[in-house]
């Protein structure tokens, strides 16, 4: 790793990070800064590990943004899928783009939990559902989405959505998008009514959250994008770049009356500020219900937008954040830096959507 650091070897990107003992900063292996002596460095598998060891991010190579974007060939491939949503991509198509099918298969399985062909198939079926909901007949929709036979299309449709094509207009479908951020990848899920979920993909509770969302709404989740997902991607980029700390994406929150009251109070905490669990309990008229407040924060499915990271213990210490305390500390520090620099534009203005 030290030899790779000296060479600024791009193959080390995303594999390891370098902590420099003499400066207290950590860098990417390709950082252009003057290289330290071997005895003055230590190596970490992730930026989080370097932060936990007491290092701060290098301002030159910005290691917190390492891996923020997928490789260029992946971006080009996803753009091609967006351009031809009904095309049935084959290994021959990948080879024509000078991309090895095995490389694509490995990346998508590791990154998205499904093969590239499964991803495309889900996209095609999601688009088929949209067309059927607009009144298009299955005999036309199936071939448009790359299915060679109507019977094959009907079988695939029923298997994914749990209903025959004839009942397609009653099927509810949510779209899921993967958003890379400096703090790790996030999963965003939205329907026509607004954004339902935004969460870090490594959070332990995310599978339960997605399952609960599907069951409550009676919906199927497939890969795709809509206006709400495009907007939250832009707003997250602005947030992490320090341009804006507010969100105006329309939200479709689902919860009990108590949970909704807690989430509304969370949205009233301005960037750069914090509240204690006791203060939140008083604000919703449930003094002493600290644990209930904590559970409501834990059930929040819209990380950062509904800012449960701004809730701390009464003594000022950090506690209780599903995304990890290291992320909570980073978010609070980031918001304070931006507000102190005059870059804050006020409290979150995310539109609440239709309340249950």
| Whether residue 120 lies in the annotated active site | no
Q: Compute the distance between CA of residue 148 and CA of residue 165 in angstroms, rounded to an integer.
A: 16
For residue 220, the surrounding DSSP H or E stretch is strand 219-223
Q: Are strands 25-27 and 56-57 parallel, antiparallel or unpaired?
A: parallel
- Contact present, 350 and 251 (Cβ < 8 Å): yes
Catalytic residue among 31, 308, 319, 344: 308
Report the SS3 class of residue 194: strand
Q: Compute the distance between CA of residue 276 and CA of residue 262 in angstroms, rounded to an integer.
A: 12
CA 186-188-194 angle, to 5 degrees, is 150
Q: Compute the distance between CA of residue 126 and CA of residue 145 in angstroms, rounded to an integer.
A: 10
Catalytic residue among 27, 31, 58, 61: 27
- Contact present, 255 and 302 (Cβ < 8 Å): no
- Contact present, 267 and 307 (Cβ < 8 Å): yes
β-bridge partners, 220: 173
- Classify burial at 232, counting beta carbons within 10 Å of its beta carbon; exposed 0-12, middle 13-18, buried 19 or more: buried
Q: Compute the distance between CA of residue 220 and CA of residue 213 in angstroms, rounded to an integer.
A: 10
Q: Are strands 311-312 and 275-276 parallel, antiparallel or unpaired?
A: parallel
Q: Compute the distance between CA of residue 177 and CA of residue 215 in angstroms, rounded to an integer.
A: 19
Q: What phi, psi does 200 have (nearest 5°)?
A: -70, 135
Q: Compute the distance between CA of residue 152 and CA of residue 173 in angstroms, rounded to an integer.
A: 20
> What residues are labeled active site?
27, 308
């Amino acid at each position: 790793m030290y030899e790779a650091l000296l060479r600024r070897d791009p193959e080390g990107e995303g594999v390891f990070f370098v902590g420099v003992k003499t400066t207290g900063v950590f860098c990417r292996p390709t950082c252009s800064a003057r290289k330290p002596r071997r005895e003055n460095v230590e190596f970490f598998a992730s930026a989080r590990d370097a932060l936990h060891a007491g290092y701060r991010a290098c301002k030159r190579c910005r290691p917190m943004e390492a891996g923020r974007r997928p490789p260029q060939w992946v971006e080009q491939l996803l753009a091609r899928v967006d351009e031809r949503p009904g095309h049935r991509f084959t290994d021959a198509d990948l080879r024509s783009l000078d991309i090895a099918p095995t490389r694509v298969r490995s990346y998508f399985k590791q990154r998205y939990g499904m093969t590239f062909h499964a991803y495309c198939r889900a996209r095609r079926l999601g688009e088929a559902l949209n067309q059927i909901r607009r009144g298009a007949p299955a005999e036309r929709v199936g071939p448009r989405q790359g299915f060679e036979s109507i019977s094959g299309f009907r079988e695939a449709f029923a298997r994914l959505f749990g209903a025959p094509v004839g009942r397609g207009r009653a099927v509810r479908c949510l779209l899921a998008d993967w958003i890379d951020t400096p703090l790790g990848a996030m999963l965003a899920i939205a329907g026509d009514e607004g954004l339902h979920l935004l969460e870090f993909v490594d959070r332990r509770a995310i599978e339960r959250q997605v399952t609960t969302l599907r069951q409550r709404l009676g919906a199927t989740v497939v890969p795709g994008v809509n206006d709400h997902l495009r907007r939250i991607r832009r707003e997250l980029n602005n947030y992490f770049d320090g341009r804006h700390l507010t969100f105006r994406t329309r939200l479709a929150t689902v919860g009990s009356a108590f949970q909704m009251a807690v989430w509304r109070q969370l949205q009233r905490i301005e960037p750069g500020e914090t509240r204690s669990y006791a203060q939140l309990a008083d604000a919703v008229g449930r003094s002493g219900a600290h644990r209930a407040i904590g559970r409501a924060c834990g059930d929040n499915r819209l990380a950062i937008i509904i800012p449960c990271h701004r809730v701390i213990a009464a003594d000022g210490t950090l506690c209780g954040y599903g995304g990890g305390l290291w992320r909570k500390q980073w978010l609070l520090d980031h918001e304070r830096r931006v507000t102190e620099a005059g870059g804050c534009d006020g409290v979150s203005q995310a539109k609440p959507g239709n309340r249950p």
